[in-house]
């Protein structure tokens, strides 16, 4: 039998690996490969930044521009502090969805501080923008949304939600639900909604409680902040216990 006629080894058979029958293998790959890489680069914990991909640092007439630069400053302060901790690995590494806008701002701030940062992008039919400030060795791209969300939260000791649209709302409400239902221990992950005025206009949390759709205790799952200085002070106080 000629070499070209030999049957393909299963794990090198790309036609099979891309088939519906191999979906379980692809899902496992999106669990095991990030686990291995994060371990290799000694990432102990993360701080997950989320917010609008439409925030443009150069649009002076946009409300989101203000939030872009505040996310950059907060990530800079956080990374500058975290680098100095040096507790047998990288703690509180800035992590984003890897795209433009607020995600770029957070990766940019960490880069300005001289720190590593993570980007967890998603493959979609339209071409995705991967921002230039992610550490190349910690740049990931996922096919499955649920695996991406898993990794965004798995090692997150804090989740910081800046103003955003459907994607941001999806991610923050899923996080709130996981904490509310104790799938994530509320003592293990701190949730900060950045831009109190924005969030209170978009979501009437108190009305949810008044209408009985959430409990009064659920209002304690998250906190608000509206300046980088205030947010960093709160985060530092909450995060230090995890060392």
C-alpha distance from residue 130 to each of 19, 71, 126 (Å): 27, 17, 13
* CATH T-level fold of 43-242: Rossmann fold (3.40.50)
3-state secondary structure of 63: helix
What does the alpha-carbon distance between residue 185 and residue 139 come to, in Å, rounded to a whole number?
Answer: 27
pLDDT of residue 4: 66
- Per-residue model confidence as pLDDT tens digits over 16-58: 888 999 899 999 999 999 999 999 999 999 999 999 999 999 9
Please state the φ and ψ torsions of residue 117, each to the nearest 5 degrees. -150, 160
Which residue ranges make up each domain of the chain? 43-242
C-alpha distance from residue 60 to each of 64, 68, 71, 208 (Å): 9, 11, 16, 35
- Per-residue model confidence as pLDDT tens digits over 119-162: 999 988 877 788 999 999 999 999 999 999 999 999 999 999 99
Is the torsion defined by CA of 171, 174, 179, 184 positive or negative?
A: negative
The answer, yes or no, to whether residue 1 has pLDDT greater than 70, is no
pTM (two decimals): 0.92
pLDDT of residue 204: 96
Angle, CA 130 vertex, CA 235 and CA 97 arms, to 5°: 35
Q: Which helix or strand (DSSP H or E) is residue 50 part of?
A: strand 46-50
Residue 235 in tokens? 């985060």
């Amino acid at each position: 039998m000629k070499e070209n006629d030999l049957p393909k080894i299963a794990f090198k058979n790309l036609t099979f690996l891309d088939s519906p029958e191999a979906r379980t293998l692809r899902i496992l790959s999106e669990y095991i490969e990030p686990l291995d890489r994060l371990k290799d680069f000694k990432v102990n914990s993360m701080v997950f930044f989320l917010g609008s991909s439409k925030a443009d640092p150069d649009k002076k007439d946009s409300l989101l521009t203000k939030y872009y630069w505040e996310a950059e400053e907060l990530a800079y302060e956080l990374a500058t502090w975290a680098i100095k901790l040096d507790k047998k690995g990288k703690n509180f590494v800035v992590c984003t969805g890897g795209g433009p806008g607020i995600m770029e701002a957070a990766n940019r701030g960490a880069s300005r501080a001289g720190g590593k940062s993570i980007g967890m992008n998603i493959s979609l039919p339209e071409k995705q923008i991967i921002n230039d400030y992610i550490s190349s060795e910690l740049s990931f791209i996922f096919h499955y949304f649920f695996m991406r969300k898993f990794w965004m939260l798995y090692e997150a000791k804090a989740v910081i939600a800046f103003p955003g649209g459907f994607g941001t709302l999806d991610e923050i409400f899923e996080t709130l639900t996981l904490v509310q239902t104790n799938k994530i221990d509320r003592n293990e992950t701190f949730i900060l909604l950045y831009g109190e005025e924005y969030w209170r206009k978009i979501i009437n949390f108190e009305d949810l409680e008044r209408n009985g759709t959430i409990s009064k205790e659920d209002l304690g799952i998250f906190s608000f902040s509206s300046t980088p200085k205030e947010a960093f002070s709160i985060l530092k106080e909450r995060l230090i216990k995890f060392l």
